[in-house]
Every structure is written in C-alpha cells, then in structure tokens.
C-alpha cells in the first residue's frame, strides 16, 4: 500500500488529539500498530497545549508524521499552515483540510482543489480530506493529489459510512489511487466495512481518543481493519434475493410410505 512511494504495513492511521493524557496517547498508538500519526499544527500550538512536550512524545514513537491543516477556512490559511508544518516536521506530506461549514466540518471543495494545486506545484505530497464526490476527486487528481481521503461521515460524528454507494463508486472509479476513509468512524465495524469496500486504509481519532478505554479501542480498530482487508481479498459472495440451501438436496435420504 504505497502512499507517495512509501510502503506501510499498517492500514490504520491514527490522530493524536483529545486523548485524556499523553501517556494514554502513547499506549493507544502502540496498541493500534499504526505507522502514521496525524498532528494538527494549529491545535497543538494553541492555548493550553504544551507544544514542545507533545512534539517530543510524537518523536519518541518513531512513527511517520502526517501534519494536518485542521482549522483552516481559506486557501491562504491552509497553504501558510502547510509551509509551517513542512518546516517544523521536516516532511513533504500534508493532510489538507479547507473547511467551509463549522457545524458539519464539511470541506470547501473549491478551496480544497485550489490549495491542493498550489501545494502540489510547490512539491508537497497532498492527502486531501474530501467528500465522496467523483467530480471533486477527479479535480484533486488533476491538481496533483496521488492519494484521496473521502469522509465516511462528519468529523467526530461516529456515524460510520453515510454513503456506502458513493464510497463504493468512488473506489471503483479510481482503482489505482490509494484511498483512505477519513472521519466519522465510531466503532470497529465501521472500519471493517470501509476495508471490505476495497479502501486501502482508514484514519480515525475521536473514536479512539474519547472511548472509555482508548487503548482497548485502538486494538479493536486494528483488528477490524485487518479483518476487513482479509475479507475484501477473499472476494465476498454477492447478496441474493432468495435463500440458497447450504446443505445439498442431492443424495438426501427419501422416506417412502
């Protein structure tokens, strides 16, 4: 599963916000088996966050960092934040968010495509947080994105896969583009369902961070991702409208009068 030429063995990407403590975050990362963690530059640098201590914790994990432009509402904000993230984290990777609506945190698809084009032209390797819209995805690929990250549902909503048809269609339309279902997953079965559709990975944060036992939930999601991937590779049977007996009738004993 290469992301911009980087092969990863884990198909679970984990966010680092909203955990009850740095210790719990570290334990959850370990339990998840994740090789990539996302970090929001604006949030971790905000009031009340010990930015340097947090960054030290992330460095200690030895994992690849995917900086995030979370909280940005304009192209200029997102591009400026990406520049800061590249300097701070020494990576070309950027998870690009340009938000339009504060209630749903839905992407501003026009600003997203514009920012993706600017950043791609500047040498960034962009992971765009987008919707399941085919036309938007096509524009993002044209803009230089080699990964797509459609939402399952609004961020932090725990609603799962709101539009299975749309996600399935998107996956089929771009068979050679690595895709990650990002946002809205609430329980491990949501992650398994995304993987069964043929997605390459899932990215989640709140479902683990706000669980009663974040470490246990991280492990549960890791198992679900693996199970979903194995199911996809095993080519599940198609749904049927009628019952089909699992025991054949041929050879069954017949009782006479």
Percent of the chain with pLDDT over 70: 90
Q: 3-state SS of 1-69?
A: CEECCEECCCCEEEECCCCCCHHHHHHHHHHHCCCEEEEEHHHHCCCCCCHHHHHHHHHHHCCEEEEEC
> Alpha-carbon torsion 17, 20, 26, 30, what sign?
negative
Query: Given this model, what pLDDT does residue 40 score?
Result: 86
Q: Identify whether the C-beta of residue 93 lies closer than 8 Å to the C-beta of residue 4.
A: yes
Pairwise pLDDT comparison (156 vs 52), residue with the higher score: 156
Mean pLDDT of 161-183: 96
**Distance in angstroms (rounded) separating the CA atoms of residues 70 and 89:** 16
In the predicted structure, residue 54 carries a pLDDT above the cut 60: yes
pLDDT digits (tens, 9 = 90+) for 21-33: 888 999 999 999 9
Q: Identify whether the C-beta of residue 159 lies closer than 8 Å to the C-beta of residue 186.
A: yes
pLDDT digits (tens, 9 = 90+) for 74-114: 999 999 999 999 998 889 999 999 998 888 889 999 999 99
Query: For the ranges 49-63, 89-103, 132-146, 189-203, which has the lowest average pLDDT?
Result: 49-63
Q: Identify whether the C-beta of residue 223 lies closer than 8 Å to the C-beta of residue 188.
A: yes
The chain-wide mean pLDDT, for the chain, equals 90
Mean pLDDT of 233-251: 83
Query: Given this model, what pLDDT does residue 47 score?
Result: 42
Pairwise pLDDT comparison (67 vs 48), residue with the higher score: 67
Under DSSP, the state recorded for 95 is E
Mean pLDDT of 178-186: 96
pTM: 0.89
Q: For the purposes of burial, counting CB atoms within 10 Å of the CB of 138, is it exposed (0-12), middle (13-18) or buried (19 or more)? A: middle
Binning pLDDT at 50, 70 and 90, where does residue 57 land? confident
In the predicted structure, residue 217 carries a pLDDT above the cut 80: yes
SS3 77: helix
The set of catalytic residues is: 95
């Amino acid at each position: 599963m290469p992301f911009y030429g980087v092969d990863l063995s884990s198909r679970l990407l984990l966010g680092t916000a909203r955990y009850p403590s740095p210790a719990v975050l570290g334990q959850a990362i370990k339990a998840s088996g994740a090789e990539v963690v996302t970090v929001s530059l604006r949030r971790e640098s905000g009031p009340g966050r010990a930015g340097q201590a947090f960054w030290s914790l992330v460095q200690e994990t030895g994992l690849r960092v995917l900086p995030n432009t979370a909280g940005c509402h304009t192209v200029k904000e997102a591009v400026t934040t990406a520049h800061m993230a590249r300097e701070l984290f020494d990576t070309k990777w950027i998870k690009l968010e340009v938000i339009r609506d504060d209630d749903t945190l839905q992407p501003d698809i026009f600003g997203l495509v514009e920012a993706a084009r600017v950043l791609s032209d500047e040498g960034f390797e962009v992971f765009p947080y987008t919707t399941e819209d085919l036309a938007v995805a096509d524009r993002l690929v044209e803009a230089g994105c080699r990964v797509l990250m459609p939402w399952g549902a609004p961020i932090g909503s725990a609603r799962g896969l709101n539009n299975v048809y749309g996600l399935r269609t998107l996956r089929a339309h771009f068979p050679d583009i690595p895709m990650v279902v990002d946002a809205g997953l609430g329980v491990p079965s949501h992650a398994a369902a995304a993987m069964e559709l043929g997605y390459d990975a899932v990215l989640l944060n709140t479902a683990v961070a706000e669980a009663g036992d974040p470490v246990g939930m991280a492990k549960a999601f890791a198992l679900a991702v693996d199970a979903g991937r194995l199911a996809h590779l095993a080519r599940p049977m198609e749904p049927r409208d009628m019952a089909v007996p699992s025991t054949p009738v041929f050879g069954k004993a017949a009782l006479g009068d």
